[in-house]
Structure 1
Amino acid sequence: MPFTLATWNINSVRLRAGLVSKLMTEELPDVLCLQECKSPVDKIPVEVFQALGYTHMVARGQKGYNGVAIFSKIPMVEAGAADYAALGHARHIAGKLENGVTIHNFYVPAGGDVPDREVNEKFGQKLDYLTEMRDAFHADKPEKSILVGDLNIAPREDDVWDHKKLLKIVSHTPVEIEHLAQTQDSGKWVDITRQDIPEGLLYSWWSYRAKDWAAADKGRRLDHIWATPDISNAAHSSRVHKIARGWEQPSDHAPVFATFDL
C-alpha cells in the first residue's frame, strides 16, 4: 500500500498549527514528521490534527526549544528515541508503521555560527551528534527504515546557492559534509530526494534575513529523506513544497515529500 511522507521543520507547532493543518488538508501526506516543535508533548495541539485523520502520534518535546513529532494516518507505535551526544535535547523520535517500516525523525543541532569546535561549543556538539548517529547505525544496521528531518547540512554543491561562498559557513563546511557522509554510509542510507531529482539546484530552507527570499533565492537543502537499500527502489515522486515558505507567518523551511510503494 503506497504512502506519502513529508518532513518539515515547523519552527513552533503551536504557533503554526494552522499551517500544519493547511499542509495536511491540501497535500494529504499519510505521515508528517515535524522538527523544532518548540513544545512539550502535552501542549502539542493533537486534537486539531486528529480531526484531520492523523490519529497516531509519537513525539519528544521541550518547552520553547527543539522537539520532534511524527503524525500518521497509518497505525504507528513508538520505536525509540535517542539522545546522541548526551545533550538532553528532544532531537530524535522513531515510529514503526503497521507495514513494518520504521521512521526515524531527526533534528540535528544547527552548530552555531563559527565552524570551529575549539571556540564554538555548539559546532562540536553538532559533530559529536553526527558521530554518535554514525556509530549507532554502524552497530545496528537498519532495515526497512526511513530517516528524515532537518539534518542542518547541505551536502552537495547544488544543495546551496553558492558553493564557494558557503564553504566556510556552518551547514556546508567540508568537515560537516564528511561527518554527514559517514553517517549516511554507516546505515547504507540512500538519499531519496536526490535519487529522484539527481541534478540541479535544490533548496528546502531560505533565511528569514532576506528581504525578498523568493527573489534572492539564496537557499540551502537542509531537510532530507533517506531510506535503507531494501526499500529505496520503492520511493518516488520526491519534491520540495516551496510554496509553503511563502505562506503567512511561515517557517523558514519548506516541507519535503516522497512517496513509497510498500
Structure 2
Amino acid sequence: MRLSLVSWNVNSVRLRLPQIEQFLRDADVDILCMQEIKCQEHEFPREAFEALGYSHIHIAGQKGWHGVALVSKIPFETLPAPAFCRRGEARAQGIRIDGVDIWNFYIPAGGDFPDREGNDKFDHKLTFYERLIEDLERRGPDKPLLICGDLNIAPGEFDVWSHRQMLRVVSHTPIEIETFGKLMQAGEFHDPFRVTYPDPQKIFTWWSYRAADFRKSNRGLRLDHILLNPGLMAKVRGDITAKIHDTVREWERPSDHAPIQTIFDI
C-alpha cells in the first residue's frame, strides 16, 4: 500500500476551504490531517471533501477553537481519542489503517512565557507532552505508529530562524527542546524531513502574519512534524519522500502554517 499523508494547520477549515480544495486538487494526497479547524462536527464542510473523493472522515471539533480532523481516500478504523489534553479540548484523534496507527495532534502553543507556575498555558503544553511520552513508553516502539500535526515545538537549531534569539521565546526554549528530545527517544522516532533536508539546512513550516513578505524576512519556525516509529519503519519499503509545500503560504489570506507531506510504501 502506498500512503501519501499531509499534515496542515489550516487555521479554520471553513475560512480556508477554497485553498484546501485547490491544494487537494493539485497535490497527490491520500490522507489529510488538519489542525485548528475551529468548528464543531456538524459545522465541518464534509460535502466538499466527499466531492473530492475523501469519503472517509473523522472529526474532533470544538466551538470556535482548536479541533482536529482527518479526511482520507482510504478506509480506516477510528480509535479512541488519546487522552493527553488535561483540559479535554479537541486536540487529538487516532485512526488505524492496515495495522498502522495514525495520531493527529494540535498540541497547545504554550502562551507567552516559559514558566509552568506562572503560565498555566505553558504547563498545559508540557503536561500534554508528558502524558504522550508516558503513553509511548508503555506502548513500546514495535507497534506501527505515525504521529503528525502542529506539535508547537521547533526542536533543532536549524528549525528556527535564530537559535540564539529564539531560546528565550516559547516554542524553542531549552525545556521545550529537552521535552521534544524525550518524545523522540520514547518513540524512537524517525524524522523524514531531517533526512530530506539535513542539518545545517534551515527548514520552516510556520511564518508569522506580522511580516508583510514572509519570504523576505524568513523568520520562520518548524512547528509541524510527521514522525514514524520503528514498528512503522519496519514496514516501509524503499525511500520516504518528505516535502514542505511552502508555496501555499504565498496564497491570498493563507494559514500561517504550510502543509507538510510524506509519501511511502508499506
Tell me the TM-score normalised to structure 2 length: 0.95
Q: Is the 8 A contact 1:93 1:105 kept in 2?
A: yes
Calculate percent identity across the aligned residue pairs.
Answer: 43
Shift of 1:197: 2.1
Q: Offset of 1:184 from its aligned partner?
A: 2.0
| Cα distance, 1:85 vs structure 2 | 4.1
Mapped to 1, the partners of 2:114 and 2:72 lie a distance apart of 37
Secondary structure in structure 1 of the residue aligned to 2:116: coil
Task: Please give the alpha-carbon distance, in whole angstroms, between the structure 2 residues aligned to 1:6 and 1:165.
Answer: 30
Give the conservation status (yes or no) of the 8 Å contact 1:192–1:232.
no
Mapping for residues 102-141 of structure 1, pairs under 5 Å: 102-141=101-140
Q: Any conservation in 2 of the 1:151–1:222 contact (CA below 8 Å)?
A: yes
1:218 partnered with 2:222: no
The match for 1:245 among 245, 249, 262 is: 249
Per-residue Cα deviation, 1:207-250 (whole angstroms, up to 9, x for no partner): 01112111111100000000111333735110100001111110
Cα separation, 2, equivalents of 1:241 and 1:2: 20
Q: For residue 117 of structure 2, give the secondary structure of its aligned residue in structure 1.
A: coil
5+ residue gaps, structure 1: none
Offset of residue 28 of structure 1: 2.3
Which residue does the alignment assign to 2:83? 83
The residue that corresponds to 2:162 in the other structure is: 162
Cα distance between partner residues in 2 of 1:159 and 1:139: 29
Partner of 1:227: 228
Give every structure 1 segment of 4 or more consecutive aligned residues whose post-TM-superposition deviation is greater than 6 Å: none
Distance 1:196 1:229 in 2: 18
Query: What is the CA–CA distance in structure 2 between the aligned matches of 1:86 and 1:52, rounded to whole Å?
Result: 35
What are the Cα deviations for residues 3-52 of structure 1, in whole angstroms up to 9, with x where unaligned?
21100000000111111111111002100000000010111101100110
Mapped partners of 2:62, 2:85: distance in 1: 17
How many angstroms does 1:179 deviate by? 1.0
For the 8 Å contact 1:207–1:252, the answer to whether it is kept is yes
| 1:58 and 1:77 in contact (8 A); partners too | no
Asked if structure 1 preserves the Cα contact closer than 8 Å seen for 2:147 and 2:226, the reply is: yes
> Normalising by the residue count of structure 1, what TM-score does the alignment of the two structures yield?
0.96
Superposition deviation, residue 81 in structure 1: 0.5
Asked whether the equivalents of residues 78 and 96 of structure 1 are also in contact (C-alpha less than 8 Å), the reply is yes
The answer as to whether partners of 2:99 and 2:144 remain within 8 angstroms in 1 is yes
Deviations 1:60-82 (A, max 9, x none): 11011010111110111211212
How far residue 58 of structure 1 moved from its aligned partner, in angstroms, is 1.2
Q: Greater shift after overlay, 250-259 or 135-144?
A: 135-144
Structure 1 residue 190, shift from structure 2 partner:
1.4
CA distance in 2 between partners of 1:204 and 1:190 (Å): 18
1:93 matched to 2:97? The reply is no
SS at match of 1:122: helix
Q: Which residue of 2 aligns with 1:146?
A: 146
